[in-house]
Amino acid sequence: MSQLKLVKIDQDGDVPEMARREELVNEVCSSTVQMYKTSGYEEPWLGYLALLDGNCVGTCAFKSAPEHGRVEIACFTFPEFEGRGVATQMTQQLVEMALKEDRDLTIAAQTQPEVSASTKVLEKHGFELVGLVGHDQDGEVWEWVLKRSYH
């Protein structure tokens, strides 16, 4: 598989590496700008587009800069690219970025409370399910934390 490249979405929603953008990418960039308004804009704790072989195949982000030694990640593979390891590569790169900044960070993620492709990706990377938590928009979700033995 080709190497996935993460490109940052800047605070204006621009992605300099992309000349042409489709509607879904525009929506992702707009949502990311809204996220920056509430969580701040601090590199590398940003939103990213995932490019593979010249195609935008998904998006991933740190939901905010670390707080109290914890950072949360999120990934979304565009439907036509599911099942190709995109989420696996996005997760790997976010984890590596976070640990490069601070090896002692707790890295967390949340999923719907059911076994899915997302939960399998997290398990593959050494995340463990720690329980059910309440989420403002999504109701009850599963909370995952990267096992310390990972790093």
Give the range of the structural domain holding residue 61, as residue numbers without chain letter.
5-150
Task: Give the integer Cα–Cα distance in Å for 110 and 44.
Answer: 20
Residues 39-54 pLDDT 10s: 999 999 999 999 998 8
Residue 128 has pLDDT above 90, yes or no: yes
Q: Is the pTM of this model over 0.85?
A: yes
Contact 122, 139 (CB under 8 A): no
Question: Which residue, 88, 145, 74, is CA-closest to 121?
Answer: 88
CATH of the domain at 37: 3.40.630.30
- Contacting residues for 116 by C-beta, under 8 A, at least 6 apart: none
Domains in the chain: how many in total?
Answer: 1
Q: Is 82 helix (H, G, I), strand (E, B) or coil?
A: coil
Task: Give the integer Cα–Cα distance in Å for 20 and 73.
Answer: 26
